[in-house]
Amino acid sequence: MSTTVWVSLANIFGVLGAAVLLAALLTWGERRLLGFWQDRPGPNRVGPFGLFQVVADMIKLFFKEDFIPRFADRPVFILAPTIVMASMLLGFAVIPVAPMVGVIDLNVGLLFFLAMSSMAVYSVILGAYASNNKYALLGGLRAAAQTVSYEVFMGLSLMGVVMMAGSFNLREIVLAQQGGWFILPQAIGFLVFFIAGIAESHRLPFDLPEAEHELTAGFHTEYSSMKFGMFFVGEYLSVILISALVTTLFLGGWLGPWLPPVVWFFLKTGFLVMIFVLLRAAIPRPRYDQLMQFGWKIMLPLALANLLATGGVLLWLG
């Protein structure tokens, strides 16, 4: 086989393997960070700094009873958790980690990402529907409405970046930021996309689909063992994916002085992941109607105004 094949194989397994590994480690990292922010150490007993907590949790999940309720829709119930994992990992395929590092270089990379992140909602809805459980169904309904609403301006908020870079290709968007990161001219776009990203990955404060104080566990109420584990890892994958994408689109991707490009990419992504956890630690959950109002009455007009202003300025500059 030629060297290019080996290089792309290494890229595929390297990037996707690192994504899954980091998502698993994030379960530990998040608990540690939440612990520090609540003046307690967090999980620190298993291995150095509690790092092997991930392994312990994994073993626990694998040895738990894999229970499928009799009233559940069996094939759909089994299929649902795989969708979120698959679509999130496919989303990682277009992320340009560094020059030469990255699975695929698509001309419609951004659209591909949007498509994949919308695919993930099927996982939640099908899982909720197949569970045949009212808490799950309510969670699924919320997830559907929330994802559809926030999807709208998630795409719109990115159009400013696309106009400025003149491309849907994520690599070209990064290279277009050599003169300056897009977070400055596209500050509104950045905010809107980040908030939509939180809603897309069902993270606090927008985790109403699984709001544990009212819906027990929402859409994954009936899931146990590794099926639940896949929903869990899928959520953390989407946190990393959104962070990586914000890095790529607004924070100049791998660009940065002194350090190698990969390190810059990981530093920026890690910082954003930390913001995700900080939001969870600090901000309470809104009511469901507040969530919808916030989306349609504030975020959507903001995204449209940003789109209009960016287009106007670009036309004026010629």
Q: Which residues lie near another protein (CB under 8 A)?
A: 33, 36-41, 278-279, 281-283
Residue with tokens 């959950």: 285
Instruction: Select 34 or 58, whichever has its Cβ closest to another protein.
Output: 34
Please report, in angstroms and rounded to a whole number, the separation of the first and last CA atoms in the chain. 48
DSSP annotation of 208 reads: G
**Rounded to whole angstroms, how far apart are CA atoms 156 and 182?**
15
Nearest approach, Cβ of residue 205 and another protein (Å): 9
Instruction: Select 40 or 213, whichever has its Cβ closest to another protein.
Output: 40
Residue 270: both structure tokens together: 């890690």
Nearest approach, Cβ of residue 270 and another protein (Å): 15
Nearest approach, Cβ of residue 41 and another protein (Å): 5
Nearest approach, Cβ of residue 281 and another protein (Å): 5
- State phi, psi for 98 to the nearest 5 degrees: -160, 170
Instruction: Select 193 or 231, whichever has its Cβ closest to another protein.
Output: 193
Instruction: Select 82 or 290, whichever has its Cβ closest to another protein.
Output: 290
Nearest approach, Cβ of residue 139 and another protein (Å): 25
Instruction: Select 26 or 33, whichever has its Cβ closest to another protein.
Output: 33
Residue with tokens 């590092």: 101
Measured CA distances, 316 to 164, 259, 309, 312, 313 (Å) = 13, 37, 10, 6, 5
Nearest to 228 by CA among 87, 8, 94, 57: 57
Instruction: Select 39 or 65, whichever has its Cβ closest to another protein.
Output: 39
Instruction: Select 21 or 282, whichever has its Cβ closest to another protein.
Output: 282
Residue ranges of the alpha helices (H) in the chain? 3-37, 53-63, 74-92, 109-131, 134-165, 170-175, 187-200, 212-215, 225-250, 261-282, 288-293, 300-317
Nearest approach, Cβ of residue 35 and another protein (Å): 8
Nearest-10 crossing angle of helices 187-200, 300-317: 150
Instruction: Select 44 or 118, whichever has its Cβ closest to another protein.
Output: 44
Q: Across the strands, what pairs with 101?
A: 98
Nearest approach, Cβ of residue 122 and another protein (Å): 32
Length of the chain: 318
Nearest approach, Cβ of residue 275 and another protein (Å): 9
**Rounded to whole angstroms, how far apart are CA atoms 66 and 84?**
19
